[in-house]
Amino acid sequence: MWIWFVIVFFVLAIGLTLGGLSTFMRGLPPIVVLIVLSFYFLFFSYIGMFVALVSFSWFGFRFFDIVIVICSFLFIIAMIRSYHPAFGYQLFYKPIAWILASLFFFMGLQWGTLGYGTFFTITMTFFFTLAVFIGILLYNSMLMWVKNAYVAAVIPLASFLLVTVIKLL
């Protein structure tokens, strides 16, 4: 039962972070980002889950935890490097999109290794979409409270870094 809790907690953290980062994008409205990210999450996590279910997996849960944490650190570094004060975050920049795709794929591989199937992936997509929506609302309202735009832009990544370090434990 604790594995399910850890997975849901991490999916919610990713959703809140991506929702927060989408409020700092100047090119696309957040609702478009919400829809694109939800389909992106569903597609790559479902492929990872399917690959793990149809193939023999030699790797365990902890191995995929480490790979997911490495992808998360790469994502945080890439997002910090892509931030521009005038344009915000570049979430759909090619290297960042590939890092996100690999992160979602390895999450799906982990779920498939545990034996979770299609219903679990669709449920996690629902949780992810809800978390992105809540992240958009939360960080959009936070922009009114925090006067420094740089501090407000780093808060989603700092919270995701904390959750990523907790996932290693």
Taking only the tens place, the pLDDT of each residue in 18-39 is: 998 888 887 778 888 899 999 9
Question: Count of residues for the chain?
Answer: 169
CA angle 33, 102, 60 (to 5 degrees): 130
Question: How many Å from the N-terminal Cα to the C-terminal Cα in the chain?
Answer: 17
Confidence category of residue 1, pLDDT binned at 50, 70, 90: low
pLDDT digits (tens, 9 = 90+) for 108-137: 999 998 888 899 999 999 999 999 999 999
Residue type, 151: V
> For the chain, what are the domain ranges?
2-168
CA distance 35 to 31: 6
User: Under a CB-based contact definition with an 8 Å cutoff, are residues 19 and 133 in contact?
Assistant: yes
- Structure tokens, 43: 């597609």
